[in-house]
């Protein structure tokens, strides 16, 4: 990789156990005087805690974020933000909540602070997504990039182990596809290798003890690095298929990434030897796809797309959508290739 272009994504990160307490200073730094706190219904308590930290200046809590940012939820959140005269948003949660903050930013220009509580990595990217009529639309816009990211590993201590594992694999998937991206670069490779290594070590440890703060810290650091890879590069076949499976079939985002990754890696890595070398080092294995499938299964992740609710009859629609528009990939992908990958993932052929 001797010729490349790398564009740094401007990002402020506040990292460390207890750093949620620094929210007021981060809001002050951005001159936010009426931030609206966002969360999912399940994380309302945490949103209320963030609102209390922000004190009287907080404009309120909107706790209706949902997976894949349905357009009606985004429209309602924007209306609430306008009604309460919010001058920014504080997104406390996973990719769904941060995605809602981005949707508001896209329409209004309001700045977003995020405090991630999963490993999805959305906080590190200028990528937004909106789902309407069964289609998920995504785009890149610098205005949606959070202005400040508060990574507090204590916020992840209550993330259920099953969600932690699949969310961790979601992060690993960003690094895998960044390594063979058309805009890969040496700095992205460094982040990807360390991100994968961090998560590969942390996930078994936090599965054994979900309250292991060192493991949670390592996992969140890995998620930060992998999210940075996602923000810096163009994703390929794996993300394309996950996007369709989530947007059209409403399959859960992180579990889909976890199940599908070994199959796409098995298809792509033989034509991306440099990427494969990095992953072999990071995972300490000679069989990257098999290792990913084995570890995910050992840590209790779903084994197949069938388990997630996809059926053989759905494949034709997934393939049609995948072939409709061109996308980056290290090797050409035919409709038959997509069918073969999906059929294997549907049956879980690599899972022990
Ligand atoms: P999520 O945000 O939907 O969270 C999953 C569930 O876990 C939710 O019910 C949430 O309330 C709960 N939860 C989250 N953190 C918790 C915690 N610490 N403790 C207890 N419960 C917790 O899931 P996700 O996988 O983080 O995000 C998925 C969404 O993010 C998808 O829509 C995906 O497309 C999007 N995404 C976007 C980008 C991007 O760059 N734009 C990147 C990754 C993911």
Average pLDDT over residues 164-178: 98
Q: What is the pLDDT of residue 7?
A: 87
Report the percentage of the chain scoring pLDDT > 70: 100
Measuring from atom 37 of ligand 1, which residue has the nearest CA?
122
The ipTM value here is: 0.99
What's the rounded mean pLDDT across residues 228-252? 94
Specify burial of residue 217 (Cβ count, 10 A radius: 0-12, 13-18, 19+): buried
Closest C-alpha to ligand 1, atom 30: 95
129 lines ligand 1 (CB under 6 A): yes
* pLDDT reported for residue 285: 98
Q: What is the mean pLDDT of the chain?
A: 96
Task: Kindly state if the Cβ of 156 falls inside 6 Å of ligand 1.
Answer: yes
What digits encode the pLDDT tens for the residues 280-307?
999 999 999 999 999 999 999 999 999 9
pLDDT above 90: residue 8: no
CB 96 less than 6 A from any atom of ligand 1: yes
**Cα–Cα distance for residue pair 279/297, rounded to 1 Å:** 19
- Check pocket membership of 253 for ligand 1, CB cut-off 6 A: yes
- Kindly give the distance from the C-alpha atom of residue 94 to the centroid of ligand 1, in angstroms, as a whole number: 3
The pLDDT, as a whole number, for residue 19 is: 98
Domains and CATH numbers, the chain: 13-156 (3.40.50.1970), 161-347 (1.20.1090.10)
Residue 134 pLDDT class (50, 70, 90 cuts): confident
What is the mean predicted confidence (pLDDT) over 14-43? 98
C-beta neighbour count of 351 within 10 angstroms = 18
Write down the pLDDT at residue 325: 87
- The C-alpha angle 311, 314, 316, rounded to 5 degrees, equals 135
pLDDT in tens, 202-223: 999 999 999 999 999 999 999 9
CA distance linking residue 92 with residue 118, whole number of Å: 10
Q: What integer pLDDT is reported at residue 205 of this predicted model?
A: 98
Q: Give the per-residue pLDDT at 247.
A: 83
pLDDT for 141 equals 96
- What's the confidence (pLDDT) of residue 198? 98
Ligand 1: atom nearest CA of 124 is: 40
The residues, any chain, with a CB within 8 Å of residue 249's CB and separated by 6 or more, are 309, 310, 314, 318
Report the first-to-last Cα separation within the chain, whole angstroms.
35
pLDDT tens-digit map of 54-92? 999 899 999 999 988 999 999 999 999 999 999 999 999
Flag whether the pTM goes above 0.95. Answer: yes
User: Taking the CB of residue 201, how many other CB atoms lie within 10 A of it?
Assistant: 16
What pLDDT does residue 35 have?
A: 98
Query: Average pLDDT of 137-150?
Result: 95
């Amino acid at each position: 990789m001797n010729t490349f272009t790398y564009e740094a994504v401007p990002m402020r990160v506040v990292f460390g156990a207890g750093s949620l307490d620094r929210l007021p200073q981060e809001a002050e730094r951005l001159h936010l005087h009426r931030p609206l706190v966002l969360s999912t219904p399940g994380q309302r308590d945490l949103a209320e805690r963030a609102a209390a930290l922000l004190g009287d200046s907080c404009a309120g809590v909107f706790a209706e974020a949902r997976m894949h940012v349905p357009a009606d939820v985004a429209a309602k959140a924007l209306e609430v933000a306008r009604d309460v005269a919010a001058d920014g948003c504080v997104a406390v949660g996973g990719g769904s909540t941060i995605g809602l903050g981005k949707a508001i930013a896209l329409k209004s220009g309001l700045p977003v602070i995020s405090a991630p509580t999963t490993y999805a990595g959305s906080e590190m990217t200028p990528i937004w997504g909106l789902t309407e009529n069964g289609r998920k639309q995504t785009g890149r816009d610098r205005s949606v990039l959070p202005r400040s990211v508060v990574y507090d590993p204590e916020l992840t201590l209550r993330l259920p182990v099953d969600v932690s594992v699949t969310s961790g694999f979601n992060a690993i998937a960003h690094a895998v596809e960044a390594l063979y991206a058309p805009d890969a670069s040496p700095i992205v490779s460094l982040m990807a290798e360390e991100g994968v290594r961090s998560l590969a070590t942390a996930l078994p440890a936090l599965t054994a003890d979900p309250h292991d703060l060192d493991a949670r810290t390592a996992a969140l650091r890995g998620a930060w690095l992998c999210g940075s890879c996602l923000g810096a590069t163009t994703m390929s076949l794996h993300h394309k298929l996950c996007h369709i499976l989530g947007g059209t079939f409403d399959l859960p985002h992180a579990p889909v990434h976890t199940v599908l990754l070994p199959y796409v890696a098995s298809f792509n890595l033989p034509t991306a030897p440099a990427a494969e070398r990095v992953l072999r080092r990071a995972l300490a294995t000679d069989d990257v796809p098999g290792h990913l499938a084995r570890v995910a299964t050992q840590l209790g992740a779903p084994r197949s797309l069938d388990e997630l609710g996809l059926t053989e009859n759905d494949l034709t629609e997934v393939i049609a959508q995948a072939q409709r528009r061109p996308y980056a990939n290290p090797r050409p992908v035919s409709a038959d290739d997509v069918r073969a990958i999906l059929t294997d993932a549907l049956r879980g052929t690599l899972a022990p």
